[in-house]
Amino acid sequence: MAFIYEKISETDRQRLNSFNLVSPLTKNKPIAPSKWIIDRERDVFLVSLGGQGFYESEIPRFYALIWKNNVVLVETFRNGVGSLSDGVEISWKITKIEAKESLLKDKDEMIELIKEGLDAEGSGGRRDCVKKVNFDYIASPWFIRDVNK
């Protein structure tokens, strides 16, 4: 199976809420997205935490990748060229990836999941109008030691 962009069901919302995700912009306000990008077979999902993220903006678009019951924080910028009717070429810059140290051994797989999830988001949630996806820059992940261990 692959990632799909879909509406979050009430059952899935309970699971999403269990991760206590907040926007890095508001810090104290839980997010309440209506859609996410999910691969149910691999039990991994990507959800927007808000932000701007256009190439010319200073504020990134923030995402959380939930994988192996861990939250991986991702900061991105994107640019789209083209039209919905003729096709859009999307370029991404992944400027920060922050994950728990326990995921270090799976670093390459984690980066691929992030790329696949962003690709599946398409343009405004529509993948059918995207003709190409580029990754102009991917930051090396930062691995954070879990102090609760």
Q: Which tokens is 35 given? A: 């859609």
Q: How far apart are CA 117 and CA 47, in angstroms?
A: 9
Of the pLDDT bands very low, low, confident and very high (cuts 50, 70, 90), residue 54 is confident
pLDDT of 67:
97
Kindly state the average pLDDT of the residues 71-84. Answer: 95
Cβ atoms within 10 Å of 48's Cβ, excluding its own = 20
Q: How far apart are CA 94 and CA 114, in angstroms?
A: 9
Q: What is the pTM of this model?
A: 0.93
pLDDT of 8:
97
pLDDT of 1:
61
120's enclosing H/E stretch is helix 107-121
Residue 147 pLDDT greater than 70, yes or no = no
Q: How wide is the angle at C-alpha 140 spanned by C-alphas 135 and 143, nearest 5°? A: 135
Residue 56 pLDDT greater than 90, yes or no = no
Of the pLDDT bands very low, low, confident and very high (cuts 50, 70, 90), residue 6 is very high
Q: How far apart are CA 118 and CA 135, in angstroms?
A: 10
Cα 68 to Cα 43, 123, 133, 136, distances in angstroms: 8, 27, 26, 27
Residue 148 pLDDT greater than 70, yes or no = no
Domain boundaries, the chain: 4-144
DSSP 30: B
Residue 90 pLDDT greater than 90, yes or no = yes
Block residue for tokens 């083209």: 82
Could you tell me which residue, 55 or 79, shows the higher pLDDT?
79
Of the pLDDT bands very low, low, confident and very high (cuts 50, 70, 90), residue 124 is confident
pLDDT of 57:
86
pLDDT of 27:
82
pLDDT of 86:
92
